[in-house]
Structure 1
Amino acid sequence: MQRLSELLYERVESDCETNKPFKLLFYFWTWIGIKSKPRGFLSTLHMVCVWIMFFFTPFLATVGFIRKWKVSTVTECLSTLQAFINAIAASAKAFAVLMYFKRIKNVEPIMKDLDERYKKPHERQQISDCVASCTRLYASIWFIYYLYGNMSILTAIVLHKQPFGGWYPFLDVIPNPTVHFYSCFIFETCYMYLLLTAQYLNDLFPTLYMRTIRTHIQLLRERVSQVGADPDMSDEEKHQQLIDCIDIHQQILKVVNIVGSICSPTIFIQFSVVAIVHCICMVNIFIFADNLNLMITIIYYITVAMEILPTCYEASTLEMESSKLPVSIFHSNWLALDMRGRKLIIFFIRRAQVDVSFVAMQMFKINLQTYLVIAKFSFTLYTFVNEMGFGQNIKDLME
């Protein structure tokens, strides 16, 4: 297996498969209990334990926040509230992915079939570049997510407080305060990394699939521009060349439908979380936070933005790439085709004019424009809260 460092620096194998980045994704999904069918007793026990933690996250987070509100400052409570909202969303998204997990496995043979159609060195190089780009996405988003997690743990150690602040009744029976604190701290750290990993993977997979689909559309555009360009081909060979391009396009649309049905609920949840959490972050930054919490909240704000921004960027880029496909078909040498080929070209152009796009729960189109609308909404919400004097009233009350 190729080293991760080689992929990061684009030293990739020439025979890379499109499915290569997703093998790592499925491996980590299995680690956090998202798998189609557990094998053996230990695998079943692991999945049951993980999903018990996922299902009890909303309850533990809510009770923990209520308990913390009574003894902590407003800044700490708001920071905890931000984390709790994301933790609950992480559990909900993990459940949505599990429901559609069998469906996403169907993408693998389609991608494998698409790879087998590209034999030329420059086509294989484009697939290798796509694998390298996906690997850099893994690394960059992982760094941002776990930077916040590590800072939360270090801050908790310095302040001698729990990093997450949840409620764990089975640990409350420990009478020794020191043993109780470190038992809660160790359990909560593992718990937080489980939720953080689930959040990371479930936010990352739409970005990876969109990046891969974009590469295959680029390859299709290059291939369709060569239809009828070789004068040595017979009419039957040119017709078969066009049929092959149409078949590739149909397979790409099939992948889009599968991925779209899976990421639709997860991204809808994330859009809602981004709007609420960004508003809370701004209230915390501009009204309550001290220097330490200000730095942590800013990093958290960036982390929450990165939960949805790469996906919106890739979705917008994919829309632009797909909009170029009808132009590429039109500029092919369709005059060299026979009557059957020319009729197929008309059908192909009309079919290719349908945008390759993703929609969150049939409500929000996933692209950068929607992200800007969400960001604007969160700022409007913060302005409303600030103008109403809600934050300042709480601050005066606590003082």
Structure 2
Amino acid sequence: MIYKLFPRLGLWPLKEVVKSRDAFVYLDRGMTICGWMPPEGKYQRWIYGVWTVIFNTFAIVLLDVSLLVSYFKEFHTFTAGQFLTSLQVGFDCFGSSIKSGYTFAGVKRFKQAKKILDRLDDRCTSDEQRSQLQQTVASCNQCYMAYQILYSSYTASTFLAGTCTGRLPWKLYNPLIDWEASYVHFWLAAIFEYVWMTGVVLQNQMSDVYPIVHFLMIRTHINLLKERLERLRSDPTVSEQNNYVELTKCIEDHQLILDYCNTLRPVVSGTIFVQFLLCGVVIGLAMINIVYFSNFWTGLGTAIFLFDLLLQTFPFCYICNMIGDDCGELANNLFHSNWQGAPRYYTATLRYFLHNLQEPIVLTAGGIFIISMATNITVAKLAFSVVTFVEQLNIAEKFQTK
């Protein structure tokens, strides 16, 4: 049933033409809802521009303002659990606004990256290569859908936990609806909060999932390049001139891969930097909320939120580690290819290529932190520092006493 609704989640027959850009089908639709993917037509762009302004004003600007106002005007009405739930979401929303701004500004780079992938797709001529491409396309779309389910689960669970206990889920400041006036007003305010936060979470999801999908796709092309390097001069029936042509094509493939990474580097650098800065603090607040102030339902929502926080950095850091290892294997595969006895012009080009392959693809966050599992673990350790700080000052016990 789900594959009928979302056909790109499954593998297509090899006779069907599948391109790398098909990995971004659902991601592009999500960005379209967020107002980040304008249509081609002139009049459609004007209408869509109005939607872009409305959606991003509510999601990026007004939500942050609403959270700040609620802290000043309604602080005395917060329970400890509500305050921590709102505070952890507040930190994440402020970071989400910055990440969304970076992502929105990088939409043109996403289009440039897709054009580079189209050129790399032209090199996938065999059924085996097209099969690998199809598997990665399906995996990328499945990854997007998994994020969609998990992020939507957070908003749904927090909404249910709040409304079932007779309280607003996030206590956003809303001057239009007095939720305490009546039962109907309460549900109107709660549903309004849910819809509002769903839009914000969708934007946050787009900012979190696009690096994973884009670099999963390029990693497949790196693996395909490794296989081509292994096959260099392996067929004795191919002339030396054709072998040299194949080597130059591999060099072109490697340059396209570097161009792809350099195209996305500025956008990824900004979004991951913000995630690293906020990750430890927000995880620490979520852990304190679960341990000291949550019942089952609010704890469930916070636990899903905590898991979603880990998904913001861990998968992409792991992919960056894998790409670094793949770059090392590229150089090894070229060195162990059948180059002995090759003409001088072939070996001279091979040495030049081998020298360039020895420099791995490294992405940095804000030009400061190397994006890797080691950095991710170091940042996550800050959460335990936050918990320890709260325990030593007995802040949680003081809140519980009040």
TM > 0.5 fold call: yes
For residues 1-399 of structure 1, the aligned pairs below 5 Å read 3=4, 7-11=8-12, 13=14, 14-35=16-37, 39-53=44-58, 54-172=60-178, 177-396=182-401, 398=402
Against the structure 1 CA distance between its residues 200 and 114, is the aligned structure 2 distance closer, same or farther, given a 3 Å change threshold? same
Question: How far apart are 1:156 and its partner, in Å?
Answer: 2.4
**2: CA distance between counterparts of 1:100 and 1:205?**
11
Question: How far apart are 1:91 and its partner, in Å?
Answer: 1.8
**1: CA distance between counterparts of 2:33 and 2:346?**
50
Question: How far apart are 1:5 and its partner, in Å?
Answer: 5.3
Q: Give the letter for the 2:355 counterpart.
A: R
Q: Give the letter for the 1:299 counterpart.
A: I
Question: How far apart are 1:75 and its partner, in Å?
Answer: 1.1
**2: CA distance between counterparts of 1:36 and 1:365?**
33
TM (norm. structure 1) is 0.93
Question: How far apart are 1:24 and its partner, in Å?
Answer: 2.5
Worse overlay, 178-187 or 359-368: 178-187
Q: Give the letter for the 2:232 counterpart.
A: V
Query: Does the 8 Å contact 2:281/2:383 carry over to 1?
Result: yes
Q: Give the letter for the 1:104 counterpart.
A: F
**What's the CA shift string for 1:12-40, capped at 9, x where partnerless?**
65531111021332222121111367834
**2: CA distance between counterparts of 1:209 and 1:261?**
14
**2: CA distance between counterparts of 1:336 and 1:287?**
71
CA RMSD of aligned residues (A): 2.1
**What's the CA shift string for 1:168-194, capped at 9, x where partnerless?**
22335x995344323322321111110
Aligned length: 395
Q: Give the letter for the 1:118 counterpart.
A: C
Question: How far apart are 1:343 and its partner, in Å?
Answer: 1.1
Question: How far apart are 1:3 and its partner, in Å?
Answer: 4.2
Query: Does the 8 Å contact 1:36/1:101 carry over to 2?
Result: no
**1: CA distance between counterparts of 2:190 and 2:88?**
19
Worse overlay, 357-366 or 65-74: 65-74
Q: Give the letter for the 2:171 counterpart.
A: G
Query: Does the 8 Å contact 2:12/2:134 carry over to 1?
Result: no
Worse overlay, 52-61 or 193-202: 52-61
Identity over aligned pairs, percent: 25
Q: Give the letter for the 1:70 counterpart.
A: H
Question: How far apart are 1:299 and its partner, in Å?
Answer: 2.0
Worse overlay, 341-350 or 135-144: 135-144
Against the structure 1 CA distance between its residues 51 and 5, is the aligned structure 2 distance closer, same or farther, given a 3 Å change threshold? closer
**What's the CA shift string for 1:137-183, capped at 9, x where partnerless?**
112222221111111121222123222221122335x9953443233
Q: Give the letter for the 2:330 counterpart.
A: L
Against the structure 1 CA distance between its residues 286 and 178, is the aligned structure 2 distance closer, same or farther, given a 3 Å change threshold? closer
**1: CA distance between counterparts of 2:340 and 2:107?**
45
**1: CA distance between counterparts of 2:245 and 2:12?**
35
Query: Does the 8 Å contact 1:65/1:165 carry over to 2?
Result: no
